[in-house]
Structure 1
Amino acid sequence: MKMKNLKIIALLSMVFYTMQACSDDDDHTSTDTEYATIVMVHGAWQNASVWDQVKNQLQSQGHTVVAVELLGHGEDETPVADITFEAYVKQVKTAIAAQGTPVILLGHSLGGAVITQTAAEVSEQIEKLVYIAGFIPENGKSVLDNSALDTTSLLPSALEFSADGSTAAIADPETNIPEIFCQYGAQAQVDLLIKNLKPEPLAPLATPLAYSGEDYNTISNKYYVFTKEDHAITYSFQKKMASDAGITKTYEVTSGHSPFVSRPDEVLQILQTILED
């Protein structure tokens, strides 16, 4: 009789131990969240603050997000003569190296060209590469070479060049910023873009990229977010660049050139899908 009771106690103990182990596993699974490290690169005539709405949401979810402020943009007062495409790339590489882990590298517009060059140079440090209406110049081609092919863009006709040809400003920003950069944006969002507007250094835009296609193609996880009603880099040209770069994972936002400003929730949802891929 005693032996039978001992067997029952042993069996119950085993069942309890197994249930407890499963419970521990479940608890571990529920709290073992994967957090990403994301480096963002803004485009021309903008600065790092354009990412704030999306950046803040991602950070609140536990992700690490770094928004690079390119030289000559925002509050940076680097002389135009000292601003080069190579310097932009160096800034982004420095930001990536500081994270100490592979990153998701995201670029918009001009920032697309910057992340293309950067990714090819430090491909081992790139987990995923994400373009939002970003330029993808081929090796030997510049942003200006790319933009010249986009014949229906409204941007060229909105530019005013400095006397020495070193910079280009957006003429009549109250009209051209909402029309070209921020369709569907609230007035406060348009005002923010206008407030941070500065003449754009042209030397980086005219600099041909110099990278190995083989290195660039070692990054298998590439994504493109199309902005369907973009008047700066048109939807059709975005699709051509993505196709030429072999990017098949694509998403769309019905917006103008700056969806992270005018449609932040939609951009956030797309980025969350990319993070989970």
Structure 2
Amino acid sequence: MFPYLQEINKFPYHDYRVMPHGCYYSPALVSGERYRLPAQQRLTFVLVHGSWADAHFWDGVAAVLRSHGHAVYTPEYAGHGIDPNKDVTHAMITKSVVDFITKLNLCNFVLVGHSFGGTVIQKVAEQIPDRIKRLVFWDAFVLKDGESVVDEFPAQMRKSFELLRAGSMDDTIMLPFPLFRDFFVNTATLEEAKQMYASVTPEPAKPLFEKLNLKAFYALSTPKSYLYFYQDNALPQGEGFGWHPHMSIRLGQSRLIVGDGDHFTDSRTRPAMLAQKFYEAGRD
């Protein structure tokens, strides 16, 4: 594991949507050899964010991975980021990522999904399995065929989300700060939590409640990994809920990588640690 360096948070591209194209490994972007790990396998990563986030969620992690010679792409999907339309479906979100990948002609890449992004990479993998080297689920939903995301919530949590949805004017769900602080950034300082919450925007509700047909996903032979952070409290752990082993076991034969962190904080405060975990999950 390599040390966290604060300056690595600086994103090397002014616009995260403008990146090198094609099926190749990008040259390392480093400000000094002290940032480089010895003899890493060069990989291409496509990082898919989760709910209440956008592609900037990956800025620090992507910068670290690129500094070690990996190629990194961070697609923005429908209903998020600069897209003002919140009336989106899960299929529209999936299409955004598939179109991004095919337009850039990416192949032989590690596809990473975080949280809700796990359901996205499940559906993306169904459509373009031959392009994907490995799937990596980071504290991500691995839905069973016919399930929705909210089907994996405890009853009280699901009711809270239904009330938040009903109270919105545009069929979105906005996380109240106390919920975000306790469940998503529980290891952060209060100042860090407030800074991260400032970038949170209302999440389109419909995709969270849609039941997905995943028969094709469970027929795939694509290699898979699950990355589990044991302080991640976004879902209750145990009693038939949670990330690991409740979600991870659904992948069948897969690589398990574990780390010490929560659901959001480490992408901001320890991007080097998270980048190393992605590498461990994605390498041969």
TM-score range, shorter chain: 0.7 to 0.9
Structure 2 residue 107 is the aligned partner of structure 1 residue 114:
no
Assess if the C-alpha contact under 8 Å between 1:47 and 1:196 holds in 2. no
Who is 2:181 aligned against? 178
1:1-277 paired onto structure 2 within 5 Å: 34-78=41-85, 80-81=86-87, 83-97=88-102, 98-147=104-153, 150=154, 156=160, 160-161=164-165, 162-163=167-168, 166-171=171-176, 173=177, 175-187=178-190, 189-213=192-216, 216-219=219-222, 221-236=223-238, 237-238=242-243, 239-258=245-264, 259-277=266-284
What is the alpha-carbon distance in structure 2 between the residues aligned to residue 62 and residue 184 of structure 1?
A: 30
Question: Once the two structures are superposed, what CA deviation does each residue of 1:176-233 show, in whole Å capped at 9, x if it has no partner?
Answer: 32321112224564234212111111111111222334665321x2111112122212
TM-score by structure 1 length?
0.77
Q: Secondary structure at the match of 1:160?
A: helix
Shift of 1:137: 0.8
Structure 2 portions without partners, runs of 5+? 1-37
Who is 1:5 aligned against? none
Residue 132 to residue 159, structure 1, CA distance change in 2 (3 Å): farther
Q: Secondary structure at the match of 2:174?
A: strand
Q: Secondary structure at the match of 2:194?
A: helix
Bigger radius of gyration: 1
Shift of 1:46: 1.4
TM-score by structure 2 length?
0.75
Residue 182 to residue 163, structure 1, CA distance change in 2 (3 Å): closer
Structure 1 portions without partners, runs of 5+? 1-30
> What is the Cα-based RMSD across aligned positions, in Å?
2.7
Residue 115 to residue 199, structure 1, CA distance change in 2 (3 Å): same
Percent identity between the two aligned chains: 25
Assess if the C-alpha contact under 8 Å between 1:228 and 1:234 holds in 2. no
Residue 165 to residue 58, structure 1, CA distance change in 2 (3 Å): same
Assess if the C-alpha contact under 8 Å between 2:43 and 2:70 holds in 1. yes
Question: Once the two structures are superposed, what CA deviation does each residue of 1:153-177 show, in whole Å capped at 9, x if it has no partner?
Answer: 6994797333457111112x1x332
Residue 74 to residue 100, structure 1, CA distance change in 2 (3 Å): closer
136-145 or 124-133, larger mean C-alpha shift: 136-145
Shift of 1:38: 1.0
Residue 106 to residue 203, structure 1, CA distance change in 2 (3 Å): same
Which structure: greater helix fraction? Answer: 1
> What amino acid maps onto 2:208 in structure 1?
L
Shift of 1:110: 0.6
What is the alpha-carbon distance in structure 2 between the residues aligned to residue 107 and residue 181 of structure 1?
A: 16
Assess if the C-alpha contact under 8 Å between 2:257 and 2:280 holds in 1. no
